[in-house]
Amino acid sequence: MKLRVIWRLMIIQYVFYRHGLDELVLTLPILRSIRFIKYISPWYWFSGNRNRPNGQRLVAALEDLGPIFVKFGQMLSTRRDLLPGEYADALTALQDRVRPFPAELARQRIERALGFPIETVFAEFSAEPMASASIAQVHAATLHDGAEVVVKIVRPGILPRIRQDLEVLYTIARLAERYWSEGPRLHPVDVVGEFDKTLMDELDLMREAANASELKRHFPDSPLLYIPEIYWDLCRTDVLVQERIFGIPIAQTDCLRAAGVDMRVLAERGVEVFFTQVFDNNFFHADMHPGNIFVNVQNPVQPQYIAIDFGIVGSLMPEDQRYIAENFHAFFNRDYRRVAELHIESGWVPSTTRLEEFESAIRTVCEPIFQKPLRDISFGNFLFRLFQVARRFDMEVQPQLTLLQKTLLAIEGLGRELYPDLDLWATAKPFIERWMRNRIGPKAFVRRIKSELPFIFEHLAELPRLQITAMKQAERQSELLKQQAQALNKLRLDMADQQRRQRYTLIGGVLLLAFMLTQYPTVNPTGGWPDLSLFAWLNLLASGLFIYLGLKSAHKPYDSKS
């Protein structure tokens, strides 16, 4: 382990102790035998942090450790299988706010990235940043044609710091996977790997620009969601220029109500946007915290969402997408047996799981939440109880679903703020049913056949050649199998011959040994033929015969017809 990693781990441990989190550190099995050291720690006796809730202490510790740990804490807030509920709830309050770097440095980075002075690009450039986060900060600007834009610049020197902290997180994850009893099931190394990938994607602003363009193609002239325009000629890996949007931040609910926004419609449209992205497009905005979502109130009766910051997006494998949709459909119809079957079919729980027992456990978790308004449903607690069921049935957590869980929790928070009486289940059920009909029903089958027709017609003329080739290959395979069978038969016969030789030789040797042991006293000491009984002579002849047969079979040639 590198010295800088060891040093960073020591700093992390020091910060945790200083915030009164020694009990969290010492719960690791590898450290349980030295729990007594907390009683000699000055922070155990004199720190006032112990009067604060555990979750608040964890938030304060992560903020002291730096922006990368803040972002990691934000991700962990969606993983209630990894942390107790009180910690996960507190982590949702983490804000990715960092002291801005100087405007002059921002200008230099823009000019170096674009290759010419900033005045040739922008008629105006605001020195005061609009926002400053751990990865980048944003400035307002105006192009020479009058278009108002925002300029996003990657924070200087951030990559080495990220590399160092990721190395530390990987070390902690490997220790947890090795020494924590839940480690093999929860895959902490994979969790850090997902976080690693997310951070690297956020560092590449060209990728973010491409994500924005992809989302915009999925919602062309949509009344539900607006995506800002990207100025591709001014985008680089560490600089992004996009259209500046004007709307009311989603968190300012008082302003939305004052503007006459129909909050029920706004909440329902949020659910529709989420399910459209996940199931229709299989490409969803996965960083939907309130700071990234605004509302266009020009038509308050039909409000429109505006999204920004597309560094984190998610997509699902087709099999995961289908299983999740079928799970939702089964949940909505209270078909808990089908839910249990889907988990087993997908391999999320072992195939040896007792179906009836698993079905009963799922029913116990899900039944109480139906026919309740959103204000009475906590998806956080719901997911936590599902993870408890998963732990009981050895369900392996799927790291590829982390972003989906995070987005779903964000939707819950938005819905709770906008329209607490929203019934998320009733709102989502028609959408899922329509998706099932479109993807699995007869219309879906006909549509897939139509989409495959060009491919079929293109290769139809090749079918005779392919069939003849396949027949020849099958014939060659048959001949090869026949040769292999003959070789195996020869090997079997050789082994049988060898066993027969060994058997003959062994019997002859045993008989000869018996003869020598029983007849030695009768041997004539003066020479000549020994005075043996008829039985002894027969014994001697039999032993010689068996030895002769064994030696003869050793030189017997192999006959493939035998």
Q: Taking 90 as the threshold, does the pLDDT of residue 433 lie above it?
A: no
Active site positions, annotated: 287
The residues that bridge with 122 in the sheet, in sequence order, are 143
Question: pTM value?
Answer: 0.68
Contact 82, 51 (CB under 8 A): no
Question: Of the candidates 291, 320, 330, 325, which has an alpha carbon nearest to the alpha carbon of residue 308?
Answer: 291
Over 90: is that where the pLDDT of 143 sits? yes
327, 328, 334, 337: CA torsion to nearest 10: 0
Q: What percent of the chain is predicted at pLDDT more than 70?
A: 72
Distance between CA atoms of 484 and 490, rounded to whole angstroms? 10
DSSP 1: -
Tokens coding 85 = 């509920």
If you ran DSSP here, which 8-state letter would residue 401 be given? G
Q: How far apart, in whole angstroms, are the C-alpha atoms of residue 71 and residue 416?
A: 23
pLDDT, tens only, 101-136: 888 999 999 999 988 899 999 999 998 999 888 888
Residue 9's DSSP bridge partners are: none
| Mean pLDDT for the stretch of residues 178-198 | 75
pLDDT tens for 242-270 read 999 999 998 888 999 999 999 989 988 98
Q: Kindly report, residue by residue over 459-517, the tens digit of the pLDDT.
A: 777 778 778 888 888 888 888 888 888 888 888 887 877 777 777 666 666 666 665 55
Closest to 317 (Cα-Cα) out of 217, 401, 395, 396? 401
Q: What is the per-residue pLDDT for 560?
A: 46
Contact 269, 297 (CB under 8 A): no
Pair 342, 327: CB distance under 8 Å: yes
Beta-carbon contacts of residue 187 (< 8 Å; ≥ 6 apart): 177, 396, 397, 399
pLDDT at 364 over 50: yes
Q: Kindly report the backbone phi and psi dihedral angles of residue 296, in degrees, each rounded to the nearest multiple of 5, phi listed first.
A: -85, 115
Instruction: Please provide the DSSP assignment of 20-47 as one string.
Output: T-HHHHTTSGGGGGGGGGGGG-HHHHH-
Q: Which pLDDT band, with edges at 50, 70 and 90, does 185 fall under? A: low
**382 or 100, greater pLDDT:** 100
- Paired tokens of 249: 């931040």
pLDDT band at 426 (very low <50, low <70, confident <90, very high): confident
β-bridge pairing 225-226 and 304-307: parallel
pLDDT for 384 equals: 61
The amino acid occupying position 534 is: L
Give the single-character DSSP code of 224: S
Indicate the helix (H) or strand (E) that contains 140.
Answer: strand 136-143
Name the residue with higher pLDDT: 22 or 272.
272
Is a pLDDT exceeding 50 seen at residue 32?
Answer: no
Note the pLDDT of residue 302: 93
Q: HSE, CB side, 13 Å, CA atoms: give it for residue 191.
A: 28
Instruction: Look at the block and give the residue holding tokens 């949709």.
Output: 325
Between 260 and 456, the more confident residue is 260
